[in-house]
Chains A and B, each alone.
Chain A
């Protein structure tokens, strides 16, 4: 089911100041996708999620889920969370400690007053789906973190909601388990026809899991797009910087031709992916460390060849992380771990114009 959010704002008052947790958010979350709200802590992503689910009431705007308006300031509509028919996985999982696994998962069906045998069937089916069959009578608190997470997922899925919401569900797991659970979650969600809204501050999680990512900052949506679009072709400097490691270099637009936008910067003249900027305007050139490609031998020719000197070199296992000095710029680069280099060496490298991203300052 599609979720439409129009002009939603939410204010908090604290010590005489107004804090805009959400500031006029307009967003359409497409049906049957994994949609991620990504942003630094305090950007309003969790508040937005809680507004969708109904645990917080926005101060302005309208939210509709499918064809139903669940919140509207103007029309004075406010459907309480229990009437919205959604599923949610909380950051703390919110597994009720006084119930066993079965009762936790059966709860949404029990409150809907379904017959007992149907409840038993559905709970069994859902527990099998999350690979927790046989755990029915365990006290919920005696499970491991990953298992608790799956109970929370089963509880969110059991009533077959059209929308499921996740509030940083992996942040309480350790690194290894987080990666496994992430893959599992993607597999589970892939099998279901369901709209999933996922909140996280972890960019790897967002990139790995999502069909669409919305980046948020200070209560506003900055940019929406596929993971590839967000990573390679961000329109905003904040997004490019937030989603991955990037060298941000000040540049001035020198010329626009059919294929490239050419800029001047501390590394010389660089041809970049074409963007509509006026000639002479100040821009930021954004280079990902992994796209700085070494050229063997002296005097290599071609587009965007830059000469520099390695200032430091750190071995991190799967790669070398190098700092390269080019004029006044210090660039972070990532080389394959089999290169034979040491600090102080002069190097030449090329920059593929397709990966030279220009964004406004």
Chain B
């Protein structure tokens, strides 16, 4: 038994190690070689070329402003919302739950596009309305700018920051605050001197995760940055490998190395911080509820802010896309616009062979990729939780590593690998890349499902006289099924919308939905884009709703125990 387990663990270390380390090694090799097809001799040329590029300085400055700006904004907003939800008597608290889940159903690419449709300087709907209403000469807002990018990216990172900060806030020991009040500090001073410092690990963790995500973000910079020539590292890399006459994967790998190093470092800091924040909040569970702060007169104005935020994050993007998919060209909603509405874009898209191919490929990748990913995750989760050896420790670190991979950089690494194999330009290349990059999203739910299956539950079945197979069938599998289903759905949702890895690996014939949508955006075909986008949202929404239902079922079992 022990031997079989050890063998299993080591073979998993090899598989996961291959999936996660291979693109990194290939990226490193690629950055010191001569070209994509022939490695040639070791050469530092690509580094010299990449880092002496005069455009790089601008890109770096933009990246730093974009990344820090959006992370700070996302963290502050999350802190504000978490505090309102857990500690005050603000009405309609279900909105907060909605705010933390719904944006996951709207792919980043479409969110960015919808903001471009609303606020672009030439014919953005809000700009057009304001221009005529206030008789301005030029558009009041320009989303194609660093400010616009920061705003949109912050809104996209807000849910994840909220999901980190809110639980920490909810399990906060109120006695710490109460004692501060007893010793004479007012609400504000208590907030600044006690509450925020105690929550610091969670706040920092949310901030760092925001940094990692915005550093890897490609949707926002490509849709909102590139039209205004505001390049950040992700789009800088993309330009090197996808645009222009001479694509240069070596140079891209050289730049990518430092992005990857930054990202991996930050993720390990994040990991240390979350471990610490768990240490901080385990003081909870003594049975009293936090006292609710009465907002009084501020109650309604604060609620309006939350409502507007929800409108911005959920209603507006979907509404804009839906509207755009029905009108012949970009126009402000009016009686005339409504009379011109038709299903033309929808029928165009559904007859467009390329869109249909993308739809087919994405569905295949979602179904096959999620299945493959979950099967691997089941074994990895089992090895991490149930086998406590050095090998399983290595496995845990390995399977967490890809959490930090910026898609576009790791895509370049995979490119260097796949070019050497017959997998190049096939759908299988995308499949392997997806599973490798998104493995943590499967491993995490599986690991927590295995934690739930206490060894005693299994052993007591054996003692009762059940064989190992019966135990598997009647005890282990039924307890794991909710975890398996939610891991599958989570991965499938990720794969339906996958953009950053796909823009690198996808080749003619292996287009996927997000790549096709990006192509429509480049060509300004907003109507078709919206129709295809709505189809994508429908697929992800269905999957997320299913996941939530299964999750609720899961909770019911867990809560009882």
Contacts and interface: CB of A to CB of B under 8 A. Distances in A.
A108 B456 CA distance: 15
Interface residues on B, range: 20 to 34
A80 B462 contact: yes
Nearest to B456: A94
Contacts of B466: 82, 107-108, 111
A97 B465 contact: no
Interface string B529-561: 000000000000000000000000000011011
Nearest to A142: B560
A112 B466 CA distance: 8
A44 interface: no
Contact of B463 (A88, A96, A141): A88
B295 to A, nearest CB: 37
A139 B560 contact: yes
Interface residues on A, range: 20 to 34
Given A97-B479, A97-B557, A142-B560, A82 B457 contact: no
A5 interface: no
Contacts of B465: 82-83, 85, 108, 111-112, 159
Dominant SS among interface residues on chain A: loop
B456 A92 contact: yes
B464 A97 contact: no
A107 B461 contact: yes
B460 A90 contact: yes
A351 to B, nearest CB: 47
Contacts of A83: 465
B464 A108 contact: yes
A19 interface: no
Contacts of A10: none
Interface centre among B464, B558, B560 (most CB of A within 10 A): B464
Interface string A179-195: 00000000000000000
B524 interface: no
A252 interface: no
Interface string B455-490: 011011111111110100011001100000000000
B460 to A, nearest CB: 4
A111 B470 CA distance: 8
Contacts of A82: 462-468
A159 to B, nearest CB: 7
A87 B557 contact: no
B454 interface: yes
Nearest to B557: A97
A255 interface: no
A91 B459 CA distance: 12
Contacts of A141: 557, 560-561
Interface in A172-229: none
B459 A90 contact: yes
Interface of B: 454, 456-457, 459-468, 470, 474-475, 478-479, 557-558, 560-561
Given A97-B558, A111-B470, A155-B460, 15 more contacts: A53-B463, A85-B465, A86-B463, A88-B463, A90-B460, A97-B557, A98-B478, A98-B479, A108-B464, A108-B465, A112-B465, A141-B560, A141-B561, A142-B560, A152-B460
**6 pairs of A and B residues whose beta carbons are closest in the complex:** A141-B560, A94-B456, A94-B460, A108-B464, A111-B466, A90-B456
